[in-house]
A and B are shown apart, each in its own frame.
Chain A
Amino acid sequence: MGLEQKLGNMGVVTMTLEQAVNWGRTGSMWPMLFGLACCAIEMIGAISAPQNDMSRFGMELMRASPRQSDLMIVAGRVTRKMAPVVRRLYDQMPEPKWVIAMGDCASCGGIFNNYAIVQGVDEIVPVDVYVAGCPPRPEALINGVLTLHEKVKKEKLSTWA
């Protein structure tokens, strides 16, 4: 990889296992490929449009299977009928896993304060980061993802090992 030449005479780099693992997790966080409503369009724009290009953060890959994904971006309103499906997808994801509630509807129900919509996806899955906006711009979603990365970097070895 050319890393040996660049390192020169440094020899060995030392860091804690905690830092190494957290760094690895932030660098290859794969979101699950699903969208529930209009926020999904902005999510697609954030992930694959060239002007935003999430692959800069190791996230260009959306996995269609929950078994291969680490991050669930709940993009859009969750109906009462959809809620068990979302929860099942979350349960099928392997540990470690994180959830971003993208947009007002996923965060708190948004403008849909009625019988059919779950008032915040945190009623069915534990949420790490809330992204405000209706819908949030791709930059806002990327900011949310980077906020999550900061959170992951602070995770303690004692909590997951």
Chain B
Amino acid sequence: MTTLEQTTQALKAKFGDAIEAIETFRGETTVVVTADKVVEVLKHLRETPALNFRWLADVTAYDDYPEEPRFKVCYQIRNLMEPLNLRVKAAVGGETPTLASCTSVYPAAGWQERELFDMFGITFTGHPDLRRILMPSDWEGHPLRKDYPLGYEEVQFTFNYDAIDKKKPYAKE
């Protein structure tokens, strides 16, 4: 039997300073890891029989703009035997954030990391096929970044109907 407490203690003992924080909020435990050690930590969690976190449920991210480093990448992993839930979180920053791909540990991360690349512009080094997955391949920018313009067209009302109508690109035959 393993508990989340034992898991986090084992990680702390093995990786030391690479574990930046261990947070518990409403029964969910998050392990904050330095960006360069993420793959090692995940590999340890997956391959060690006593820990046995063999299922990667999700890889996602959020943008803390204008904080720096602004992007937080979250790996949601699960031990199906106990069962246990653990979140591994790493922060990356800069205009072209880079993180090592964990596809060598969890092959299922492939499409999830492509989505993060598409939506946040996070480059995963070592990913076998890193290209856009949701937006068209010639899209410019990364829509889920906080500094990405959200709206596309001003709403037409009676007072500005003609002004917007003039700008609207109508289809030719």
Contact = CB atoms under 8 A, between A and B. Distances in A.
B57 interface: no
B151 interface: yes
B136 to A, nearest CB: 5
Contact of B152 (A87, A113, A125, A126): A113
Contacts of A108: 156
Given A113-B152, A115-B143, A120 B168 contact: yes
Classify chain B: how many residues form its interface, as a range.
Answer: 10 to 19
At the interface, is chain B mostly helix, strand, loop or mixed?
Answer: loop
B68 to A, nearest CB: 25
Interface string A23-46: 000000000000000000000000
A135 interface: no
A123 B168 contact: yes
Nearest to B132: A81
Given A115-B148, A123-B170, A126-B171, 8 more contacts: A80-B139, A81-B134, A87-B171, A109-B152, A113-B152, A119-B152, A122-B168, A125-B171
Interface of B: 134-136, 139, 143, 148-153, 155-156, 168-173
5 contacts: A81-B135, A87-B171, A114-B152, A115-B150, A122-B168
